[in-house]
A and B are shown apart, each in its own frame.
Chain A
Amino acid sequence: MDAKADAAVLSAAARPRLSARWATLLVLAVVIATIPWFFPSGFYFRVAALVWVTALAAVGLQILMGQAGQVSLGHAGFVGIGAYAMALGPKYLGLDVLLCLPLGAALAGVIAFLVGRPILKLKGHYLAVATLGFGMLVTMVLVSEVGITGGPDGIRVPRAEILGWRIRGSETFYWIAGGALLIGTWIALNLQDSPSGRALAALHDSEVAARTIGIDVAAYKLRAFVIAAVYGAVAGGLLALMNGFVTPDAAGFIASVEYVTMVVIGGLASVPGAVVGAALLVLLPQALTVFHDYEHAVLGLLIMLFMIFLRVGIVPGLAALLRRRA
C-alpha cells in the first residue's frame, strides 16, 4: 500500500516532460545567477561553490541510485580519484592541471568499468558492502602511500592557468562550479527522459521483466555506474582545484555516506532533489554552529525528521503537497 502511494508520488513528480525538464534547469540557472546578490561577504561564494560541486557529485549518484536503483557506499572513492588526479598528474607526470580534470574523469570511468563488472552482479546489501569496500580501498591507498599521496596530511594542487590567466578567487570558482552543475543536471535530466533512461528505470523496478523486453541489464547497470563515477571524479577535480589542496577525507566513508544521504533526502527519483539534498547537507552544518557541541546531533535529528515526514524525499514530497493544495 505504501509502495503504491510512493509510486504514485514518485512517477508523477519526478519523470520530466519536456517542459518540466527546462523548468528545472531554468530554476537552477536563475538561482545560481541571482543568489550572489544576497551574499554579505566573499566567504559565501566559497560556501555556495562548495554546494554546487557537492551537488554535481550527488547528481551523479542519483543516476546510479535513483534512476538505476543500485546502491553505492563508495561514491566518494571516485570523487577522491578525480581530486587526487589534479595533484598527482602535475606532480609526477608534469601534466597541466586542467588536463588532469578530464584525465581523472576518464580514469575514474575506467576503474568503475573494471570494478563494476564483478560487483554489479551483487544486489542490495551485498552491493552496498562491495561498494563500501571499494571506497575503503581507495582511502587506504591514499592514506598509506605517504610517499606519493602525502598520506593523511594530503597534497597540494597547483593553480590552474588558461593562456596566462590564473584561475583563482572564490567568485571565479563559484561560476565554474555553477556552470558545471547546470551541465551535469542537464545531462542527468536528458538521460532520465531517453531510451537509456527508460532501460535504467525498468531494471530498477523489475530486472526480470527488463531482461525479457530485451534490456541487457548487466550492461546498463555498468553504464550507470561508470557515469556516476565520472560525475564524482569531475566534482572531485573541481573541489581540488577550488581548495588548492586534497586530503583522503574527500574519498572517505563519511563522505560516501553523506552523498547517499543527499540523494535520499532530496528524493531518490529526482535529479533536482540531489541538488537540494546536497545544499542541505553542506549548508546545515554551517547554520547549526549555533548549537555548538550539539551541532551533529541536531543535524542527525533533522535528517531523521525529513525522512519521517517526507519519505519520498524533499523535492517529490513537496511537489506532491503543492499539487494536492492546487
Chain B
Amino acid sequence: MSDIDTHLSGTAFPHSEAPLGDVILETRDLTKHYGGVHALEGANFTLRRGEHVAIMGDNGAGKSTFVRQITGVEQRTRGDIIFDGKPIHFENPMDARNAGIETVFQTLALADQLDVPDNLFLGRELVKFRFGPFSILDYKAMRQRTLDALEKTGVKIPNIRGTIERMSGGQRQCVAIARTATFHSKLTIMDEPTAALGVQETAQVESIIRTLKEAGEPLILISHNMRQVMDLCDRIVVFRRGRICANLLKEETDGQDVVAYITGAKTQPEYADAA
C-alpha cells in the first residue's frame, strides 16, 4: 500500500508564469551504492533558477539518497554534481551550506533545548570576538537577524526565546525553513516538510514555500502529497528503485499519470532502462 494521495489532480491550480533562469544544479550519472545495495543509479537531473521541482517516488525509491549526495551528508559512489556553474565535492553538510544549499531534513535538525535564534544559527553562530572555541557570541545580532528572517518568510512564533521543545510541530518546521531565509541560500531542499503536520500547519508551510517561489528561489521538494506537489511545483521528477523514471511538466500531467509512473505502470521512453 502506497501512501501517495491519488484523489486530487493538480490541473485546477494555475501554474507560475515566472520565467526560469539558467541552470543552478545539474547532476550527471549520480550514483550511490551501499555495499551491494544500489540505492541510486545514474541520476541525470537539472534545476533552473526560480524553478520549483518536486521529487516523488515510493518509499525506498532513492529520493532521500539523491538529496544526501547533493548536500554532502554522504559521499557519492560516482557521477558529477555541478552547482552554480562549478563541479562540487562537498565533504560534509557544512560545505554544502556554505556553498548556498540549504536543506530542511526529514528528521528535523533542531536542538530541542535551544531557542529559535540558537537553532537558526546552529553551526554558524555570529561572534563578537573571535577566539577559537571560546569566541564570544553575538546574541543581539542573532536575535535581530532571526526576527528579520521570520518576518521575511511570514512565520509567526509567539516567543523566539522559547525553547523548541515547547513548540508545535508546525512551528518547529517553520523554524527549520526560516533557516533558509536567514542565509540567502541559492537552493533550498525540503525533504517531506509537511509529512508530520496537521492541515493548518501544512498550509502555513506551503505559504512559506510560495514566498520562496515569488522571491525566485529554486526549490527541490520531496513529497508524497500529490495536491501539494501540483499546487507548488513546476515540474515533477519521479524516482523508482533508485533510478529516475520520469520527468514531467506539471501542465502536461495529472495525478493519475504521476501515480502510474511511481508504481511502475508507465515509464518514459528516454528512461526505458529504469524499468
The answer to whether A and B belong to the same complex is no
Chain B interface (Cβ < 8 Å from any Cβ of A): none
